[in-house]
């Protein structure tokens, strides 16, 4: 088992500090579990001191107070063993692909660059990076992740690394530029400028967060108003539908009454006509019998019998008269139809006047309200609340015609339905 554990190898990437991108020097473990060089994490938190918040540069976990830092003895031993092993991590590395930064010093097939030097303005694979890691001559050369545009970070005039920033001209300059046209300008290091801008962006982020929260609150308020509008509109539509349904039911009820009266008048007229027709048919039968008796009598050859029976026939030959059909149904129906037409016109005119008057007044109030809202700030204007909407629509519904059809027209007592006998 000990032999198996001794053969375990650790790759160089797992022993690199995420801040300086170098092998750990005095590694320290912070509360979230990540490791950094003790000096690197200390400088990072020194920069965060002015902001008042401390966080892990790798996972961004924040800490209320600045954690105490101590060397991680185990990681220190692992790093020491790794450095003593003399491992050459450059061997076996893949070639640079289309999207990779290639090593500037590889001949033939170029390997993928591991770091870029901001002083040499060149990119190196792990093998060619060894002098920068081991030689004291390169200890002041800052290394960074492979940069594709490394040549653009060189001053075109002095061919030096752009390591300073002129705040007056808002441009990158090299160290030679501070003795020339930027001599009296406010020049800071890139680290200072980045730190300053991070603080500025942090404040902007806080302000944007406040605006975001305020906007979310406004969205919630508008959504509440939308829900209120939908809910109130549906309720008012239901109330108005019920009122119109009640009017329709009243009209249907009055229609049934009138149709019933017309039916009874029709039945009475039919009964009278059927009775007279029956009497006329009976009279026709009697006249046929009398006519037959008369023909028999006329054909008699016995004069005595003829005279004797003719006397009796003359006295009994009279048939009772049938009364004439007398009905004013047509005139009643005509007057009822005329009365219904008059009532229909009155109801429609009443509805038209009521709707026109109320809608015009509602539109006028709506224009006044819109004019007032247009003068208000969009952040202070609010939509009408549900009780106010319900109150306005309730006032509107009270102007509609009453549910009782007999109250639709003020001149109902003069309606011609009375003249028609209904």
321 Rama class: left (phi>0) / alpha (psi -120 to 50) / beta: beta
Which one is predicted more confidently, 411 or 269?
Answer: 269
Q: How far is CA 161 from CA 19, 154, 194, 342, 387, in A?
A: 21, 5, 17, 101, 71
Could you report the per-residue pLDDT of 116-165, keeping only the tens digit for each?
A: 887 787 888 887 888 888 888 887 787 888 877 776 777 777 767 777 88
pLDDT band for position 388 (50/70/90)? very low
State the pLDDT at residue 213: 94
What is the share, in percent, of the chain residues with pLDDT greater than 90? 18
pLDDT band for position 252 (50/70/90)? very high
State the pLDDT at residue 156: 72
Which one is predicted more confidently, 4 or 330?
Answer: 330
pLDDT band for position 305 (50/70/90)? confident
CA gap 117, 124 in Å, rounded: 8
Mean pLDDT over each residue of the chain, to the nearest integer: 78
Query: How many CB atoms within 10 Å of residue 58?
Result: 15
Query: How many CB atoms within 10 Å of residue 182?
Result: 20
pLDDT band for position 409 (50/70/90)? very low
Lowest mean pLDDT among 6-15, 168-177, 396-405: 396-405
Contacts with 91 (C-beta within 8 Å, 6 or more apart), sequence order: 127
Tell me what percent of the chain is helix, strand and coil, each rounded to the nearest 5: 55, 10, 35
pTM of the full structure? 0.40
Asked if residue 166 lies in contact with residue 178, where contact means CB atoms within 8 angstroms, the answer is no
State the pLDDT at residue 29: 92
Could you report the per-residue pLDDT of 26-54, keeping only the tens digit for each?
A: 899 999 999 999 988 888 888 877 766 78
| Structural domains of the chain ordered from first start | 10-87 (3.30.40.10), 198-314+327-361+383-414 (no CATH)
């Amino acid at each position: 088992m000990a032999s198996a554990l001794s053969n375990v190898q650790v790759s160089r990437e797992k022993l690199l500090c995420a801040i300086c991108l170098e092998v750990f020097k005095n590694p320290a473990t912070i509360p979230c579990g990540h490791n950094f060089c003790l000096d690197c994490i200390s400088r990072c938190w020194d920069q965060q001191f002015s902001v008042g918040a401390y966080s892990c540069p790798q996972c961004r976990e924040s800490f209320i107070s600045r954690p105490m830092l101590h060397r991680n003895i185990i990681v220190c031993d692992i790093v020491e063993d790794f450095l003593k092993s003399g491992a050459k991590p450059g061997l076996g590395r893949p070639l640079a692909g289309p999207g990779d930064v290639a090593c500037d010093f590889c001949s033939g097939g170029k390997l993928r660059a591991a770091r870029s030097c901001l002083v040499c303005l060149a990119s190196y694979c792990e093998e060619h990076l060894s002098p920068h890691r081991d030689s004291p001559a390169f200890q002041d050369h800052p290394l960074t992740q492979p940069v594709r545009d490394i040549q653009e970070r060189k001053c075109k005039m002095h061919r030096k690394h752009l390591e300073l920033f002129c705040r007056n001209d808002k441009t990158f300059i090299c160290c030679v530029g501070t003795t020339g046209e930027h001599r009296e300008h406010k020049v800071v290091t890139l680290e200072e400028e980045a730190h300053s801008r991070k603080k500025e962006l942090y404040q902007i982020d806080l302000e944007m967060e406040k605006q975001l929260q305020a906007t979310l609150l406004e969205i919630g308020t508008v959504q509440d108003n939308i829900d209120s509008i939908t809910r109130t509109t549906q309720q008012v539509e239901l109330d108005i539908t019920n009122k119109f349904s009640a009017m329709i039911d009243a009209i249907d009820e009055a229609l049934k009454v009138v149709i019933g009266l017309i039916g009874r008048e029709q039945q009475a007229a039919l009964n009278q006509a059927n009775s007279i027709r029956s009497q006329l048919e009976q009279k026709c039968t009697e006249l046929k019998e009398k006519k037959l008796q008369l023909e028999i009598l006329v054909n008699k050859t016995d004069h005595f019998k003829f005279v004797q029976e003719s006397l009796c026939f003359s006295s009994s030959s009279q048939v009772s008269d049938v009364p004439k059909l007398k009905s004013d149904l047509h005139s009643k129906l005509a007057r009822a139809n005329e009365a219904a037409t008059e009532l229909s016109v009155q109801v429609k005119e009443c509805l038209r006047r009521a709707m026109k008057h109320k809608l015009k007044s509602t539109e006028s109030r709506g224009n006044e309200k819109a004019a007032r809202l247009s003068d208000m700030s969009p952040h202070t204007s609010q939509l009408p609340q549900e009780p106010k909407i319900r109150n306005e629509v309730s006032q509107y519904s009270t102007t509609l015609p009453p549910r009782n059809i007999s109250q639709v027209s003020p001149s109902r007592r003069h309606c011609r339905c009375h003249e028609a006998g209904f």
